[in-house]
Amino acid sequence: MFSLYAILGLQENASDEAVKAAYKRLCQKLDTSNYETGSVGYLQAAKCLEAVQGAFKTLTNPDLRAAYKDAWSTSWTQGQVQDTQPKLGQLCVASGMITLEELNEAVQSQTTLRLPLGQILQEQRLISQAELDGLLLGQNLVALPADCPHSIGQRLIALGLVSEDMVRIALIEQRTFGKLLGEILVGHGWVDKSVFDALLATD
């Protein structure tokens, strides 16, 4: 379950005034008239606006907000623990061996072939046995943050802009290259820079 406050760029249980101010700011920044019609930025801004409006509607309606807080409290108490070890496919994409599209195709094949992902990637001649061995070794050496994806990543996932795989791949690259998470996501073309900047704007 994703935080509706995070969608608005706020801490959980922020004040009503903060919710209204964030909503107003985001509606201005993400107004589709600010983007070229049909562009990636336009489409992503429209998707963000839909999520922002849904979050605002829930958080400003007493009954809906109470139901959300009950559900959030339950999910938080259950403490859904994140796996801190990166997945093989995420390491493959982060290392540049395969593309995210190739990973998604291999994962789809996995549902019918019922084979380990590494074996499928080998059979598709995307990685060698030596590369697979190296990745499996590296998988045990690379530890991602326990709260991965972190707050910015969670927000982008909740907004529908990226997948968890994308954020985890970016986090792996971040540890390797020392770049900012947003810079990596934008560099891959997964998030439009103008939309990303609009989400983080504070004025």
How much is the mean pLDDT over the chain? 86
Structure confidence at residue 146 as a pLDDT band (50, 70, 90)? low
Give residue for tokens 């990973």: 103
Same domain, 101 and 183: yes
Residue 74 domain-assigned (yes or no): yes
Residue 194 falls within a domain, yes or no? no
Which stretch of 135-144, 168-177, 181-190 has the lowest confidence by average pLDDT? 135-144
Clarify whether residues 99 and 48 are in a common domain: no
Give the Cα separation of 116 and 129 in Å (integer).
13
Q: Residue 195: inside a domain, yes or no?
A: no
pTM given for the model: 0.74
Residue that terminates a domain, selected from 33, 55, 81: 81
pLDDT on residue 96? 87
Q: Are residues 167 and 106 in the same domain?
A: yes
Average pLDDT on 181-202 reads 92
Please tell me whether residues 72 and 137 are part of one structural domain. Answer: no
Residue 199 in domain: no
Across the range 187-199, mean pLDDT stands at: 94
Residue that has been written with the tokens 């998604």 in this structure: 104
Give me the domain span that covers residue 56: 4-81
Query: What pLDDT digit, counting tens, does each position of 9-24 carry?
Result: 998 889 999 999 999 9
> Cα–Cα distance between 165 and 89 in angstroms, integer?
9
Quickly state the pLDDT bin for 179 (edges 50, 70, 90).
confident
Other CB atoms within 10 Å distance of the CB of residue 158: 18
| pLDDT > 70? residue 149 | no
Query: 68 with 8, same domain?
Result: yes
Does residue 112 share a domain with residue 38?
no
Q: Are residues 35 and 117 in the same domain?
A: no
Residues 148, 183, single domain; the answer is: yes
| CA–CA dist 29, 9 (Å, integer) | 13
* Residue 196 pLDDT: 95
CA separation, residue 122 to residues 103, 115, 126, 134, 158 (Å): 12, 11, 6, 13, 33
What's the CA gap between 141 and 195, in Å, rounded?
A: 34
Do 37 and 106 share a domain, yes or no? no
Pair (94, 170) in one structural domain: yes
Q: Which of 81, 110, 126 is the last residue of a domain?
A: 81
- Domain assignment present for residue 197? The answer is no
User: End of a domain among 50, 81, 112?
Assistant: 81
Range 128-136 average pLDDT: 86
Give domain status of residue 196, yes or no. Answer: no
The total of structural domains in the chain comes to 2
Note whether 62 and 116 are same-domain residues: no
Residues 102 and 181 in one domain: yes
Query: Is 175 buried (19+), middle (13-18) or exposed (0-12) by CB count in 10 A?
Result: middle
Q: pLDDT of 45-89, one tens digit each?
A: 999 999 999 999 999 999 999 999 888 887 655 455 455 677 888
AA letter at 191: V
